[in-house]
Structures are given as structure tokens and as C-alpha cells.
Structure 1
Amino acid sequence: MTQVINVANFKGGVGKTTTTVMLSLLLSQKNNKVLLVDFDPQGNATDLLYYKTFEKAAPQKTIYQAIQDKDLTPAIHALTDNLHIIPAEGDLRNFPRLLARMFGRDYIKYGFLLDALLMPLKDDYDYIFIDVPPTISDFTDNAIVASDHIAIVMQTQEFSLGAAEDFIPYVNEVLEKFETDVNLLAAIPVLMKKGGRVDELILEEAKKMFKEKLTSSPIKIRERIKAWGLTGIRDEDMHDKEALDMYRGLAEEMSQRMEKFAMEEI
């Protein structure tokens, strides 16, 4: 059963895109077929994974062009046998205007376009990850409607925790508006400073808020992870391996959570 995951938060710069990319990459290395859909006009997932990690040339077709043609298949680019990406460029910023041209005032149809376009692809993948901008927008609405799971990424900062908390009622509003459902899979903490007093206090608040949804595999901010933004994801020295192992722990936990959910749905 294909599972579609949206890793999200209203606050930018919390590690959302990096987490999405790392989960996609590492789960593909566990013999899963994974598709990463870059649905953010900034194209940060495309930049990190497609250009910098796999050093690919400019794609012949991007997600916006594929949406215009109502067929995502020609925009799928293979990075490995198990990892594929639908890249985004700046033209995706025109998506809201495209919805208006396609559907006029039939606003309910706005939210279902991505879901409809992903449907023919589901038999080919175990996991589909969607990366979206940290905004209340047609992008986020479409991603929520298309997803089976939401995973919220939050840094151990008050503003980030608040944004994570605010995201829940927004998701509920979207689900009510479009009469659909989604599972809150996880809340993923990103620790700003290991052992920091503020980090520990906010982590305790997050435990009260999200309870069993809070992952036991937090991500710790490391200089090497920041460096990957320039070099692409590497596995060349001890610092790379430590960072990769940290994300592997998270990927394993997320996989177990999704397997449990799938078993409960049978």
C-alpha cells in the first residue's frame, strides 16, 4: 500500500525540507520505492537532492509544466533505481492562478488537483513524500488532501512550537472543507542545542502537546547538516556518518509508525 506523507510546519527554516529529503533518500536505501514531489516554488528539495547531491543537469520537465499537461509521469526523474523526484522551479508560483483558470469559482476542486494527478503513480511507489512551502496556501491544501500522513517538524524554539500547534487546527479546517481525512503520523523535534535548558523545556511542552506522536528520534542541529546545503548530502567522513545515522534512526521510526498504521487499516 502506497503511503503519501507531507512533512510540514507554518514556520520556515525548521528543517522541514532537509527532513523530507533525508527520509526519502534513506527509505529508498532500505529497498523501498520512493517518490519525492517538490511542491514548493522555492525548489529547495530539488536544489538539495537533484542538483547538489546527485549533480543532475536542469530537468527537461518540472512539476508545474506537468500539472499544466495534467500528467506528472513525464516530470519524474530517476536519481537511483529506488529514488525518484518530481522537481520544482520558480514557475510553480503560478499554480494558484492555474487553479483559477482551470476551475473558476469551483473552489472545492482547487484542493483535489494534486491528489488526482498522483493517483496513477501510486502503484509504482511504497512512499510518496510531498515538500510544500511553510504557508497557508493552495500548495499546502493540495498536499494535505493528497496525503495519508502529516508529520510536523518543529525546532525547540517557542515560535516553532507555536507554529506546530497552530498547524493542527489548520489541517482540521482543510479536512472539513474538502471532506477528507489524514493521519497525524508524528511530531519531529529538531534540537537547537543538545542539553540546552530552553530546548529541554520546550521539548517537555511538546511532549504534553503531542504525546505519543512525538518521535523518540530527535534531530540535533549539526554544522555538517548545514554544510550539506552547499555540498549536497555526502557520506565521506565521520561527521557525515554521524549525521546520516541520526536521520537513519528517524527513518526507521517513521517506517515503523507507517507499518503500524497500515496494519491497523487492514
Structure 2
Amino acid sequence: MAKVFAIANQKGGVGKTTTCINLAASLAETRRHVLLIDLDPQGNATTGSGIDKLALSHSIHEVLTGECDLIEAMQFCEQGGYQLLPANRNLTAAEVSLLQMSGKEARLRKALEPVRENYDYILIDCPPSLSMLTINALVAADGVIIPMQCEYYALEGLTDLMASIERIGARFNPALKIEGLLRTMVDTRISLTQDVSEQLKQHFAERLYNTVIPRNVRLAEAPSFGLPALAYDKTSRGAQAYLALAGEIARRQRKAQQSGTN
């Protein structure tokens, strides 16, 4: 049965989509079966996976509105080795439609039920807002991975985000937990980065991933070629960091299973 992780942060530009694409490719590289769901109307996870979002016959839009099932809309990202449920601007219309539907918060969870056993991991790229789309992701997820930059305002936003996750979990998904906090775009030469990183270690301890994602040119270039960093430049610091993250996530899961808490 797949572990479902929502990659979420209400602040934009923190590396959510970069994390989704590269974590999916890294988990696939370690022979896990992975499904990446693009739940952002911008469709950046779709184009970053080498799929033309303007040429889609089916997408997550039709899955959420019940016009097709999930398998019909999926595509394979050959360079990344994972399955993709793509998105484009039509998803904005789906969000409006969801407001009129019964069980609107659990549409994605219901759509995933027939395929969860086919995957080891399902990653959901959330939009940078607490919308009905994000609520669907949180209701469908087992845990939330929060990418964040090591800067002052990120700490302020983190408090609000965690409170939102707790509220949604309490109402719709009591098993939901914060899986981990991921430091992204890290430049260790900046003193503020080090200060914020130390605060995160003090306050979040085991929730904070040991792996940090560096600010890396090759990692930033890869999406423009429709490639995960592993396919664009496997030796780059960014690609290697996401491989390390995949290993850390797998180890955490094994540890939780052995202790009977997962």
C-alpha cells in the first residue's frame, strides 16, 4: 500500500515542485513504484516531467470531476521513471466545480483508492494556497512534507501552515501527520541560513530531515528541459541531495514499520 505524501507550503517559490519531481525520480531510481500528482493549475510538475500540458486529452481536472478515472489520465515520465497525473489551467475550473459537489474534500482520496496498492509512494504537488485543491491533497495524504527556505519569514509562515494542517486533519483526516520539514535552496555561506536552520533543529528535532537541498544551478536548469535533475546531470549536487532525501525517507519508513507506528 502506497505512502501518500502531500508536498505543501502556502508560500510560493520554496521548491515544492522541484521537490516533487526530483524526489519522484530519486525514489524511482531506487526501484520504488511512484505516482506523482500535479495538483497545481500552473502545471509546472507536468512540464517539468517532459509532458506538454497544452496537449492533454485527460488530466487531474477530469479525475476530480468524475469525467474519467485516474488510470485514463495518467502518463509515464520516461526520463524520471515514474507515473504522472498531469494538470493544466483547466484545474482552476475543477476547483470551482468541486464546491458544488458532495464529498468535495475527499474526491482525490476516493480516486486514489483503486490504485494505491500499485505504488510504493504517491507524491502530490500542492498549489501555494490553502484552496479546495490543497484540502483534497491533505485529506488524501498520510503525511505532509514541507519544503521551506531558511529565512525569517519562512518561520512565520510555518506556524500558520502547521495550524492549518492540524485543523484540516482534525476535521477530515485524523491520521494526517507532518512527515518532515525539508530545507531547500540552502546556501551555507549566509549566516541567516545557519541561524534559521539551528532554530528548526531546536523546535522540530526529528521532524526535520537531515538532508538539505542546496542552491544549485543544474537543479534550477533541469525543468526547462523537461527533465528531473537525475536525468539532466546525475552528478550535480542537487541531484545527489534528492537521492539522499529518498534514502532518508525510506529509512524513516522502515524504522516506523519496525516500531509499529506506521
Q: Normalising by structure 1, what TM-score?
A: 0.89
Task: Report the more deviating stretch, 235-244 or 160-169.
Answer: 235-244
Question: How far did residue 95 of structure 1 move?
Answer: 2.2
Q: Specify the alignment match of 2:56 in structure 1.
A: 59
1:212 counterpart residue number: 206
Q: What amino acid maps onto 1:145 in structure 2?
A: V
* Structure 2 counterpart of 1:8: 8
Deviation, 1:235, is 5.1
Query: Which of 164, 175, 187 is matched with 1:193 structurally?
Result: 187
Segments of 5+ residues of structure 2 without an aligned counterpart are none
**How large is the Cα RMSD of the aligned pairs?**
2.2
Cα separation, 1, equivalents of 2:230 and 2:9: 28
CA 1:61–1:223 in structure 2 vs 1: closer, same or farther (change >3 Å)? Answer: same
Partner of 1:106: none
Return the offset for 1:47: 1.2
Deviation at 1:96, TM superposition (A): 2.5
Amino acid at match of 1:58: A
Q: CA deviation at 1:224?
A: 1.6
Structure 1 residues 207 and 111: CA distance shift in structure 2, 3 A? same
**Kept after mapping to 1: 8 A contact 2:233/2:239:** no
Matched, 1:245 2:249: no
- Look up the match of 2:100: 101
Matched, 1:168 2:162: yes
Secondary structure of the structure 1 residue equivalent to 2:115: helix
Q: Residue type matched to 1:17 in 2? A: T
Which whole-Å CA distance do the structure 2 matches of 1:101 and 1:167 have between them?
26
- Whether the aligned pair in 2 keeps the contact of 1:31 and 1:82 (CA below 8 Å) is no
The one-letter amino acid of 2:13's match is G
CA offset at residue 130 of structure 1? Answer: 0.5
The secondary structure found in structure 1 opposite 2:97 is helix
1:35-54 superposed Cα distances (whole Å, 9 cap, x missing partner): 00111111110011133xxx
What letter corresponds to residue 14 of structure 2 in structure 1?
Answer: V
Question: Gapped runs of 5+ residues in structure 1?
Answer: 104-108
Within 5 A, what are the aligned runs for 1:244-263? Answer: 244-263=239-258
Q: Which residue of the partner structure matches residue 151 of structure 1?
A: 145
CA shift at 1:216, angstroms? 0.8
In the TM superposition, what is the alpha-carbon distance from 1:183 to its structure 2 partner? 2.2
Instruction: Using the TM superposition, name which of 175-184 and 215-224 deviates more.
Output: 175-184
- Alpha-carbon distance between aligned partners in 1 of 2:183 and 2:114, rounded to the nearest angstrom: 33
Structure 1 199/78 Cα, relative in aligned 2: closer, same or farther at 3 Å? same
Q: How many residues align?
A: 258
Does 2:72 match 1:74? yes
SS at match of 1:46: helix
Alignment of structure 1 residues 16-165 onto 2, 5 Å: 16-51=16-51, 58-68=55-65, 69=67, 71-80=69-78, 82-103=81-102, 109-165=103-159
After superposition, the Cα gap between the structure-2 partners of 1:179 and 1:6, relative to the gap in structure 1 and judged at 3 Å, is closer
Shift, 1:204, TM fit? 1.0
CA–CA distance in 2 between the matches of 1:247 and 1:124?
23
Partners of 2:188 and 2:237 lie apart in 1 by 15
The CA deviation at 1:265 is: 3.8
Q: Is the 8 A contact 1:50 1:56 kept in 2?
A: no
Runs of 4+, deviation exceeding 4 Å: 234-240
Partners of 1:179 and 1:229 lie apart in 2 by: 33
Mark the CA change 1:262 to 1:222 in structure 2 (over 3 Å): closer, same or farther: same
Distance 1:239 1:73 in 2: 30
Match of 2:239, as an amino acid? L
Identity of aligned residues (%): 29
Aligned to 1:228, the other structure's residue is in SS state helix
Alpha-carbon contact 1:185-1:258 (below 8 Å) kept:
no
